[in-house]
Amino acid sequence: QLETLEQEEQECLELRPHPTEKTTHIVSHEHGMTVTKTLQEGEAEPQCLSFSYGRANLRGVLLEGASLLLLRVLARRQTMPPSLVFPAINTEGDLCTSSY
């Protein structure tokens, strides 16, 4: 029984004259998960957006770290169950599905 407690993702684009840094931080808590996205473009003030998902919406959610672990287990077993689909959170922080 594995559960993602916290995940942070950082993306940096070195585009001149305005380098861009995008950070997504996901943290689990008793009521669900909170996603905080920060966008920093050049010298401008960082833009921050935070939103939460309740536990009911996240049942069985598979985040990036857990997805990598699952892929390793499936490769080790050399088997793939049919129609393996999990709820996930995409790079924009929206709920979606992940199919294998």
Region 8-15: mean pLDDT is: 89
Q: Is residue 58 part of a domain?
A: yes
Dist. CA 39–CA 20, nearest whole Å: 7
Of residues 71 and 50, more confidence is placed in 50
Tell me if 66 is assigned to some domain.
yes
Report, as an integer, the average pLDDT of 76-93: 84
Asked whether residue 23 is assigned to any structural domain, the reply reads: yes
Instruction: Give CA 85 to chain center in angstroms.
Output: 16
* Whole-number pLDDT of residue 1: 65
- Tell me which H or E stretch contains 92: none
* Domain presence at residue 89: yes
Domain count, the chain: 1
Q: Could you tell me the pLDDT band of residue 64, with boundaries at 50, 70 and 90?
A: confident
Domain that holds residue 27: 6-99
* CB-count exposure of residue 22 (10 Å: 0-12, 13-18, 19+): middle
Q: Which residues pair with 25 in a beta bridge?
A: 8, 36
**Does residue 79 belong to any structural domain of this protein?**
yes
Is the Cα torsion angle 66, 68, 70, 72 positive or negative in sign?
A: negative
- Is the residue at 1 inside a domain? no
Residue 31, in any domain of the structure: yes
